[in-house]
Structure 1
Amino acid sequence: MNSPAPRRVLVTGAGRGLGLAFVRALLARGDQVLATCREPTANTALRDLLPAHPDRLHLLALDVNDSARFSAFAADVGAHVEALDLLINNAGVLPTGERFGQLRAETLEATLRTNTVAPLLLAQALAPALARGRRPCVANLSTELGSIASTRQFHSPSYAISKAALNMAGVLLGAALAADGVRVVNLHPGWVRTQMGGPNAALDPEHAVHDLLQTLDRLPADCHGAFLDRHGQPLPW
C-alpha cells in the first residue's frame, strides 16, 4: 500500500541496517528522504543511491548524541524541505556482554543518551517542521525487550532499559504533539539480520521495513504513543 502522496521523511541512523533499508524503500515509493548518519558523504551505500535520486535524496550529517546541535540541524532540514511528514528515529546502540555484577554506569548512561534522550530531543527540535507536515508522524524504533510486562530474565539491560524509557518518551511526545496533529508510535521491528541483530535473526531488513511502512500507512489519527509490533498489533508495556 503506497502513501496517497510522496512524503518528506527524515531517517536517523541511515547508513546501514534498518535505516538504510528504510531509505531504499522510501525512495522506491517516491518519497523525499533526508538520510542522516555521522558521516553520510563517506558512506558508500548512501552515496550510491544519489545518482538515481538526485532531487529526492539528501544526505545530512547528524550525531544524535550531540543534542546541542539539534537546533542548528533543524535549520539545515528547513533548507531542504519546508515541512516533515515522517521522522523515523532509528539510530540506536546495543551494548554486548553485560553481566549482572559487572554493570558499568558509563555504558548505561551512553545507551540512554543514544536510545532515549536523542530521539526525544530530536523530535522536540523538529516539532515545528512536523506540525507543518501532511498527516505527520514520529516513529520511534523500539523493541519487545523494552516491554516491562514481558520481561522474564536478565538480558541486555542497558538496551532494554533505554527502550522501555523510549516507550515512555513516545507516550509523552504523543501528548505534547497531539494538538498539532502529529502522531507518535513506538515500533518493534522484530528480530532483524543487521549488525545489531546478528546473522541468526529471523528477518531480513527489507522484509521488516516493508511491514513497518505498511503499519505506518494504516496508523490512525489518534495514535499518540502506542507500542506496536511491525504488523500494527499492540504490545504489552
Structure 2
Amino acid sequence: MTPPSPRHCLVTGANRGLGLEFVRQLLDRGDRVVATCRQPGRANALNQLTGEYPGRLHVLPLDVAEPKSQAELVRELPLVLGDDARLDLLVNNAGVLHSGERFGKVAAATLDDSLRTNATGPFLLTQSLAPLLADGGKVANLSSELGSIAGKDAFRTPSYSISKAALNMATVLLARALAERGIVVVALHPGWVQTDMGGSGAEVAPEDSAAALLRVIDRAGDGDSGRFLDRHGAPLPW
C-alpha cells in the first residue's frame, strides 16, 4: 500500500540512527518532514538534508523528556506547517538506553531518565500534539521486544525494559483515546539495529529497519491500533 504524498510527518530523535533514516526515507518518497532533536546545531547529517530537500524539511529543537521543550514545539509547529495543515504521521523515535546496569546497583535517577525519555515523553508529546494530528493519521511508537513482559527471561537492561513496557501501555491508552478520530497508534519493535544504541554487532541495518517499519505503518489500519508489532508486522507478546 502506497500512502498519498506529500504527507506531513514529525520524527523525534532525528539527528542520527534510525530517526535520521526515517527522515531520509520519508523525504525520498515525497513527504514533508519536521525533524526534532535536542541540539539541532550539532545535527550535521540532518542539516545537510535541509539543503538537499529545500522547503520540505524543517529541523526544530526538542528534548522529549522536558515538558517546556514540548510546549515550545507545539507553539512553533503551526508556523512551520501552516495554520491549516495537520500531521499525518508522528514517529516517536527518541529514546535512551543506559548500559551496564546490575541488580543492586540500579539508580533511581537512571530509572527516572529512562521513563521520562522512553515512555512519559512520547505519551505527553502525543497528547500535546493531538490537536495538530490529522483525523485518520498515524502514531508510531518505537518500542522494543525488551519491553515484552512475557518475553523477559533474564535480568538485563532494567530501566530500558521497564520504560518500553510502559511505552507499550501508553500506546494502548493513546489508541483508545484517539480511536474516535480514526488515528491509528502502534508500538513497533525495529529489530536489533546497527545504531549507536544497538552497536556495530547488531543484525539489522538502519535503512532496512526503517523501510520495513514504514511498510508496517503504511499498512496499519483501525484493527491494528494499540498493537505491538515487529518490523515485519507480526504481533509480539506483551
| Shared fold, TM over 0.5 | yes
2:69 paired residue number: 69
2:164 paired residue number: 163
Q: Aligned runs of 1:69-88 on 2, under 5 Å?
A: 69-81=69-81, 82-88=85-91
1:118 paired residue number: 121
Q: Aligned runs of 1:24-173 on 2, under 5 Å?
A: 24-81=24-81, 82-130=85-133, 133=134, 135-173=136-174
Alignment partners' CA distance in 2, 1:78 and 1:129? 8
1:14 paired residue number: 14
The one-letter code of the counterpart of 2:145 is E
Alignment partners' CA distance in 2, 1:223 and 1:24? 25
Query: Is the Cα contact below 8 Å between 2:143 and 2:168 reproduced in 1?
Result: yes
Query: What is the CA distance between 1:134 and its match in structure 2?
Result: 5.8
Deviations 1:135-166 (A, max 9, x none): 30110000000000111110100000000000
Alignment partners' CA distance in 2, 1:150 and 1:72? 38
Query: What is the CA distance between 1:180 and its match in structure 2?
Result: 1.5
Query: Is the Cα contact below 8 Å between 2:119 and 2:167 reproduced in 1?
Result: yes
Q: Is the partner of 1:196 in helix, strand or coil? A: coil
Alignment partners' CA distance in 2, 1:212 and 1:162? 21
* Change in CA separation of 1:46 and 1:87 when aligned onto 2, cut-off 3 Å: same
Query: Is the Cα contact below 8 Å between 1:93 and 1:115 reproduced in 2?
Result: yes
Alignment partners' CA distance in 2, 1:71 and 1:171? 23
Query: Is the Cα contact below 8 Å between 2:14 and 2:23 reproduced in 1?
Result: yes
Query: What is the CA distance between 1:205 and its match in structure 2?
Result: 0.2
The TM-score, its normalising length taken from structure 1, stands at: 0.96
Deviating above 4 A after TM superposition, structure 1's stretches of 4 or more consecutive aligned residues are none
Q: In angstroms, what is the RMSD of aligned CA positions? A: 1.1
Which has the larger displacement, 68-77 or 194-203?
A: 68-77
Identity across matched positions, percent: 55
Query: Is the Cα contact below 8 Å between 1:21 and 1:209 reproduced in 2?
Result: yes
Which has the larger displacement, 214-223 or 178-187?
A: 214-223
Alignment partners' CA distance in 2, 1:135 and 1:231? 22
Query: Is the Cα contact below 8 Å between 2:135 and 2:183 reproduced in 1?
Result: no
The one-letter code of the counterpart of 2:41 is T
Query: What is the CA distance between 1:39 and its match in structure 2?
Result: 1.5
Query: Is the Cα contact below 8 Å between 2:188 and 2:229 reproduced in 1?
Result: yes
Q: Is the partner of 2:10 in helix, strand or coil? A: strand
Unaligned runs of 5+ in 2: none
Query: Is the Cα contact below 8 Å between 1:2 and 1:29 reproduced in 2?
Result: no
